[in-house]
Structure 1
């Protein structure tokens, strides 16, 4: 089995003089790699013994998602240095404490990324959110995509695991049944990150860099709702700057809970009934609008 240093060297064409373990995330390990020349690199690595079918296309999808997000003029994403089925190498992001000025720039960066748009609601390939598969089969409208591709699959998975009861499932199904009336005024597909919780925002002096995307064409409110889910420093500054650059439609605040429902269902699938109460509260808030 090849060591990670050898895998990174083959992907980047640079000798790796030092590899610092940074722990693990889901089934993959994280490292900071120091090459013989240039700046440090960030590495995500699956064990080479991982079957190709276990996380088929995981790093390919992530790399291409970062490139797609980065195609917009000011998208705040790291540079991808190389990847294969078991390894992803990116530029190292040196983090700084968040400031109001950085938050305002990040809001403008996020607005520009969203406004660069997408061809459809969905993507040309399926993806992952964390270790879970993500169906990106395109749909004609946002309500259909959000209900069929984001809520229903994870509701079924949560129910099958026993983390949600049949009564819980019916509460979320009420949201799905009324989805056409809950999503607000139609908008064209935005170029969204898709997993934009605060841990995927790395602060810089002049803005932020976003990592670990589940990129697809979606509704821009999903990224903003997820930033609010687990708390982002200076979130009001981010949203105010965003709203100046790309004004949000009326009623966006009333749709935050609706657009938090998908990531909460994902958390139920990953971590069990600990997220049950929060998920049901979001479903009820979404119905209240």
Structure 2
């Protein structure tokens, strides 16, 4: 549960787990890209299994100019790279993920050689199995997502990383991992260099298009300017807009796990487009 002070935000946990330590590790990992023009990230002041104290971000109104700076800065964060698909931040104490329904990490020895193989098994099918076991998915829903996962695993939707990630010669992009509108804050000050700041990550190594797809899922102020700023700094691979729904399946399935059938219709509608 977060609490607020003039200069910091404190999150506390009743039971000691690795969740707050992993979040702190993710914040620090993403912040490594700041000196090279990456997004500003809420600074970690203190962390423990029961408490995370971080910088309180001074927010300002959205603008088209700031949105374009956010896009360009996010591209540079992604280009900082990660060692394999599904890898955790290096300082994360739990390489298997946090909690039953959280984004699962992948150990190096189980790392997939392609984005499609990773995403099919460790995102789509991971959540499908949870939903089937919980009874929200029956035979139809399970079979539909299995069809999509098979296409993803075959590489039907694999694509090059954006240009800056590719030019960095890293195995994959460094992702925020939960990049919805509430976690990308517009900064106070019209001339803030990065335009915005990142909070509350579930950071891991993946495809940069996954973060961008998450940002598009629930909307964001001046979204098209963010995307234009990103593409201008780090051109996206041809056909990226047609792949958005595939990347959105992971957060949609996670929302089904967390919140139930309210997200079921949208999830199945997206899945039918790619079976």
TM-score by length of structure 1 reads 0.81
Q: Is the 8 A contact 1:129 1:195 kept in 2?
A: no
- Match of residue 157 from structure 2: 183
Task: Tell me how far apart the structure 2 counterparts of residues 178 and 100 of structure 1 sit (CA, whole Å).
Answer: 37
- Say if 2:265 is the partner of 1:277: yes
**Alignment map for 1:18-97 (pairs within 5 Å):** 29-34=1-6, 40-47=7-14, 50=15, 52=16, 56-72=17-33, 73=36, 74-97=38-61
Task: Tell me how far apart the structure 2 counterparts of residues 87 and 182 of structure 1 sit (CA, whole Å).
Answer: 43
Q: Is the 8 A contact 1:264 1:275 kept in 2?
A: yes
Q: Is the 8 A contact 1:127 1:214 kept in 2?
A: no
**Alignment map for 1:137-216 (pairs within 5 Å):** 137=107, 138-179=111-152, 180-187=154-161, 188-204=171-187, 205=189, 206=192, 207-216=195-204
Q: Which has the higher strand share?
A: 1
- Shift of residue 182 of structure 1? 2.8
1:225-254 alpha-carbon deviations (Å, 9 max, x no partner): 000000011010000010011100011011
Task: Tell me how far apart the structure 2 counterparts of residues 131 and 259 of structure 1 sit (CA, whole Å).
Answer: 18
TM-score by length of structure 2 reads 0.85
**Could you list the runs of 5+ residues in structure 1 that have no partner in the other structure?**
1-28, 35-39
1:49-94 alpha-carbon deviations (Å, 9 max, x no partner): x2x4xxx310111111111111112232110001100110000012
Q: Is the 8 A contact 2:117 2:155 kept in 1?
A: no
- Match of residue 82 from structure 2: 118
Task: Tell me how far apart the structure 2 counterparts of residues 33 and 66 of structure 1 sit (CA, whole Å).
Answer: 19
Quick one: structure 1 residues 129 and 98, their matched pair in 2 at CA, closer, same or farther if it must change by over 3 Å? farther
Q: Which of 248, 252, 267 does residue 236 from structure 2 map onto?
A: 248
Higher relative contact order (CA 8 A, sep 6+): 2
Q: Is the 8 A contact 1:255 1:286 kept in 2?
A: no
Task: Tell me how far apart the structure 1 counterparts of residues 157 and 183 of structure 2 sit (CA, whole Å).
Answer: 25
Quick one: structure 1 residues 131 and 173, their matched pair in 2 at CA, closer, same or farther if it must change by over 3 Å? closer
- Match of residue 217 from structure 1: 205
The structure number with the bigger radius of gyration is 1
How many positions carry a matched residue from both structures?
A: 248
Task: Tell me how far apart the structure 2 counterparts of residues 267 and 277 of structure 1 sit (CA, whole Å).
Answer: 12
